[in-house]
């Protein structure tokens, strides 16, 4: 007889697939020849990711002397490692 508790736990352990934008962005980030503009072009169509990237770049942690308004500027402020972590986090939420 199947255990309903075990089935419920198993369902929660399954990781949802990474959205296409995030998967593409993560592949590009691993490419050492990728440009900031290419990354911005991939981020741009995803409003949720754009919001997160620009918001984080404008956070007090990064202490920019001016407001970051473009995706390219936000990517420069955050850096590749932070962008990679943020992309992974947003894609599994």
**Per-residue pLDDT tens over the stretch 50-66:** 999 999 999 999 888 88
44 lies in a domain? yes
pLDDT digits (tens, 9 = 90+) for 74-86: 999 999 999 999 9
18 lies in a domain? no
- Which whole-number Å values give the CA distances from 57 to 6, 80, 85, in the listed order? 42, 12, 14
Does residue 18 have a pLDDT over 80?
no
In total, how many domains does the chain have? 1
71 lies in a domain? yes
33 lies in a domain? yes
Q: The whole model's pTM is what? A: 0.75
- Alpha-carbon distance of 83 to 15, in angstroms, equals 21
């Amino acid at each position: 007889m199947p255990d309903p508790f075990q089935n419920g736990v198993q369902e929660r352990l399954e990781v949802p697939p990474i959205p296409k934008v995030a998967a593409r962005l993560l592949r590009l980030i691993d490419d050492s020849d990728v440009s900031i503009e290419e990354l911005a072009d991939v981020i741009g169509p995803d409003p949720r990711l754009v919001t997160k990237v620009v918001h984080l770049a404008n956070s007090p942690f990064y202490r920019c002397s001016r407001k970051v308004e473009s995706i390219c500027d936000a990517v420069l402020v955050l850096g590749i490692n932070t962008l990679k972590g943020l992309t992974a986090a947003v894609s599994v939420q």
